[in-house]
Amino acid sequence: RAEAGQPAGSSASSGTDFGDGNLVACCPPEEEEEGDTFEKLAELPVERSERRPTCSRCSRPEKVCLCPFLPVNPLNVSTCLYIVQHPAEENRVLRTVPLLAACLPEDKCKVLIGRRFSEDRYPELAAVCRSPQTLILYPGAEAANLEELTLDHSDSPYNVVIIDGTWSQAKDMFYRNSIFRLPKQN
């Protein structure tokens, strides 16, 4: 509505009164210019960004490929690593898991990505975690000091479960997955 003391068709606020007492809002000049600017920006051609080519072995951009520094052939190891990786780690810039996987035989480095690892969905991991030959690398009150640990090398090779994530992600994964509390904690 037009304010008192204002003639019909004008108001103290921005708008127009068409004589019926209803004020129809319109944009002040600054907002109109802003709207025009956004429309002009929307009309600009968009350049498609292309991902940098990455090395298929180490997963690093080709310009900073680390393969010349990695062993040509996989290392001969008896220990099997199970890396349980938080999904957010997959997209980190300084990912080290692909480097580790590139250095080990495929059957000795298994990477599982997720937050929850139930026995039903991951029966192999559950069986490994129940084995007395499995260690999980996770700090805690019940953890054994690796330097004081006596390992029996006469039995089958050891398995090592590694939780890959930030400290808070690893803590969350450790406490929300009961299978990770089955192996000896180190």
DSSP letter string over 33-85? HHHHHHHHHHHSPPPPP-PPPB-TTT-SBGGG--GGGS-SS----S-EEEEEE
Q: Coil, helix or strand for 141?
A: coil
DSSP category for residue 176 = H
Span 82-122, pLDDT tens digits: 999 999 988 776 678 988 999 999 999 999 999 999 999 99
For 115, counting Cβ atoms within 10 Å of its Cβ (0-12 exposed, 13-18 middle, 19+ buried), the class is middle
The Cβ of residue 146 has, within 10 Å, a number of other Cβ atoms equal to 10
Span 146-168, pLDDT tens digits: 788 887 777 788 899 999 999 99
> Residues 6 or more apart from 59 whose CB is under 8 A from it?
95, 98
Q: Do residues 86 and 173 lie in contact, with contact meaning Cβ atoms separated by under 8 Å?
A: yes
Q: Do residues 184 and 130 lie in contact, with contact meaning Cβ atoms separated by under 8 Å?
A: no
DSSP category for residue 29 = H
53-57, 72-76, 92-96, 146-150: least confident range: 92-96
- Tell me the average pLDDT across 1-8: 49
The strand pair at 134-137 and 159-164 is best described as: parallel
- Tell me the average pLDDT across 12-21: 53
| pTM, two decimal places | 0.67
The strand pair at 23-25 and 15-17 is best described as: antiparallel
Whether 46 has a pLDDT exceeding 90, the answer reads no
Handedness of CA 131, 132, 133, 134 (dihedral sign): positive
